[in-house]
Amino acid sequence: MPTYDLIVKNADIVTASDRYRGDIGINDGKISVIAASLDASQAQQVIDANGRMVTPGGVDAHCHLDQPSTDGSQSADDFISGTRSAACGGTTTVIPFAMQFKGQSLQDAVADYHQRAAGKACIDYAFHLIITDANPATIAELPALVSQGYTSFKIYMTYETLKLSDLHILEVLDTARQLGAIAMIHAENDDCISWLTQRLKKQGKTAPRYHALAHSPIGEREATHRAISLAELVDVPILLVHVSSRAAIEQIYWARGQGMNIFSETCPQYLFLTAEDLGIDDSFHGAKCICSPPPRDSDSQNAVWDALANGTFTIFSSDHCPFNNDATGKKLHGENASFDLVPNGIAGLETRLPLLMSEGVLQQRISAQRFVDLTATAPAKLYGLYPQKGTIAPGSDADLVIWDTHIRQVISNEMLHSNADHTAYEGKEVQAWPAITLSHGIAVWRDQQFLGEQGNGRFIARAVPFPSAG
């Protein structure tokens, strides 16, 4: 009887803290041992990493899959195509959102998303809640939902159909504090956006590129500071999602200096796109890159890189929210709709890790350990998945990525596995891509082939991130 189901030999093992050479023994989908050398004859199967980097499978803690929209637009990806593309890009756990429609109970929202995911997800998944209706009945649902493993809630300071008042934000934050859960905050000042949008439209400035002007960094900075202030009042940690601008980063840096427990996230679009990708003329082409907050200027791009390297950002997520470039998505209101009517979001699950490995690690902007922390360990810890997910250690799930880091791969939508009909990164060259992705010790991506199976992904009920709080 072989001792191991699988040995990954000659691995350049990278965790959030260490980097060392070793062999990884796997049994029943879990890592059972890590040693300098394991006897290959004791394994049913051997994969020779040949000295290549092996990192924990990515944890993408911010993605939207099969999420119905209040405007009737349709997500390009469901749980099959979204998790398939994640696996092909080295991500083995996703945390999409279960969004509450106003008037809907949270339990109903969660039940609906379970139906959307069950039998479809190819990799493991959990759910954040999106709270859009913070009335007393909703708040009363939270203790049970947290104990069922939904230990994080996203709240919005903008979008007409989603936003909460400051009073309601305080209620949610206070509940998060009592339960040891965490609130994720979309921080943009809604009235700034409305005022700028009206002004631009009156001037006939409706092309996609004006989206970047309507969503000013000043509005992001103000809302970021307000979110931090509300968290300070309640005395609770928060996570600021998809931070895009130098101005917002400065607020987070300041809050940290004051000793506040402020976590923050950024995304590939703020490193690899700028406002120019929304168009330098009035063509509708730039609608593909409309997301909120929008990509900024090169000064903010530099600030985002610095904040990734210096530890200001806690996690790096995709904010995958794909809409096709047709009447179900970006052209919902026609070929030349005003920017404020274009569904917000871009695809990014599959390209998140290769882009950061290539431009971050290989270009020596961040270390390989920092890459692992940002993309796997820190999100797993922050959202109650650690140490089952997010690291390479005995007892952890055998979710691993073996990297090719000496390639030249030009990204094109054809090579990707999402159902989206375009990628914002078309034509960009990367030097890294997963050679093999293992989920529970089984290859889901190898030799440029998706090998996973729909329905193999398991729902994970998450622990609370701050158990001693309250």
**178 CB-near residues (< 8 Å, 6+ apart):** 469, 470
Binding ligand DUC (rule: CB under 6 A), the pick from 319, 340, 359, 397 is 319
Q: What letter would DSSP give residue 289?
A: G
The CB-of-439 to ligand DUC minimum distance in angstroms stands at 25
345 binds, among ligand DUC, Zn ion, none (CB under 5 to 8 A by kind): ligand DUC
Instruction: Let me know: does 154 contact 128? Beta carbons within 8 Å.
Output: yes
The footprint of Zn ion on residues 316-355 (CB under 5 A) is: 319
- Scanning 180-188, 215-223, 258-266, 408-416 for contacts with Zn ion by CB under 5 A, the matching segment is 180-188
What's the rounded Cα separation, in Å, for the pair 386 and 376? 9
64 contacts ligand DUC (rule: CB under 6 A) = yes
- Collapsing DSSP to helix, strand or coil, 402 comes out as strand
Provide the minimum distance between the beta carbon of 156 and Zn ion in the complex, in angstroms, as a whole number: 6
Instruction: Give me the phi and psi of 336, to 5 degrees please.
Output: -130, 35
What are the Cα distances from residue 441, in Å, to 30, 85, 312, 313, 396? 7, 18, 33, 30, 11
* Binding residue (CB under 6 A) for ligand DUC from 292, 312, 338, 423: 292
Q: Does position 186 bind Zn ion by CB under 5 A? A: yes
Q: Which residues partner with 14 through β-bridges?
A: 19
For ligand DUC, which is the closer residue by CB, 129 or 321?
321
350: left (phi over 0), alpha (psi -120 to 50) or beta: alpha
**Nearest alpha-carbon partner for 303 in 253, 374, 256:** 253
Q: Please name the amino acid found at residue 462.
A: R
**Residue with Cβ nearer Zn ion (18 or 191):** 191
Least separation in angstroms between residue 69's CB and ligand DUC is 10
Task: Pick between residue 123 and residue 241 the one whose CB is nearest to ligand DUC.
Answer: 241
Residue selected from 126, 249, 291, 392 as contacting ligand DUC according to rule CB under 6 A: 291
Distance between the two ends of the chain, CA-based, in angstroms?
A: 50
As beta bridge partners, residue 150 has none
Query: For residues 217 and 300, is the Cβ–Cβ distance under 8 A?
Result: yes
Nearest approach in angstroms of CB 288 to ligand DUC is: 12
Of the pair 71, 235, the CB lying nearest ligand DUC is at 71
Tokens of 53: 């980097």
Q: Residue 291 touches which of Zn ion, ligand DUC, none (CB < 5 to 8 A by kind)?
A: ligand DUC
26-62 as b/e, with b when 16 or more CB fall inside 10 Å? bbeebbbebeeebeeeebeeebebeebbbbbbbbbbb
Binding mask 157-186 for ligand DUC (x = CB under 6 A): -----------------------------x
Closer residue to Zn ion, CB minimum distance, 90 or 96: 96
Single out the residue of 321, 402, 420, 435 in contact with ligand DUC (rule: CB under 6 A). 321
CB 46, CB 37: distance < 8 Å: no
Shortest Cβ contact with Zn ion: which residue? 186
Choose the one of Zn ion, ligand DUC, none that binds residue 318, judging by a C-beta under 5 to 8 angstroms depending on kind. none
Write down the least CB distance from residue 347 to ligand DUC, Å: 10
Q: Does 345 bind ligand DUC (CB under 6 A)?
A: yes
* Alpha helices, H only, 67-202: 79-88, 106-117, 136-147, 166-179, 190-202
- C-beta of 63: minimal distance to Zn ion in Å? 8
Provide, rounded to whole angstroms, the least separation between the CB of residue 320 and ligand DUC: 9
In 106-127, which positions are buried (b, 16+ CB within 10 angstroms) versus exposed (e)?
Answer: beebbebbeebbeebbbbbbbb
The residue whose two tokens read 């992001």 is: 220
* 257-286 positions binding Zn ion, by CB under 5 A: none
Q: 217: closest CA among 191, 196, 247?
A: 247
Total residues contacting ligand DUC (rule CB under 6 A)? 8
Residue nearest to ligand DUC (CB): 291
Query: Are residues 264 and 312 in contact, defined by beta-carbon separation less than 8 angstroms?
Result: yes
| Least distance (Å) between residue 186 CB and Zn ion | 3
Residues 386-425 that bind ligand DUC (CB under 6 A): none
Which amino acid type is present at position 52?
Answer: R
Task: Indicate which single residue of 344, 396, 423, 439 sits in contact with ligand DUC (rule: CB under 6 A).
Answer: 344
Cβ 434 to ligand DUC, closest distance in Å?
25
* Min separation Cβ 183 and ligand DUC, Å: 15
Where do contacts with ligand DUC occur on this chain (CB under 6 A)? 64, 186, 291-292, 319, 321, 344-345
Where do contacts with Zn ion occur on this chain (CB under 5 A)? 186, 319
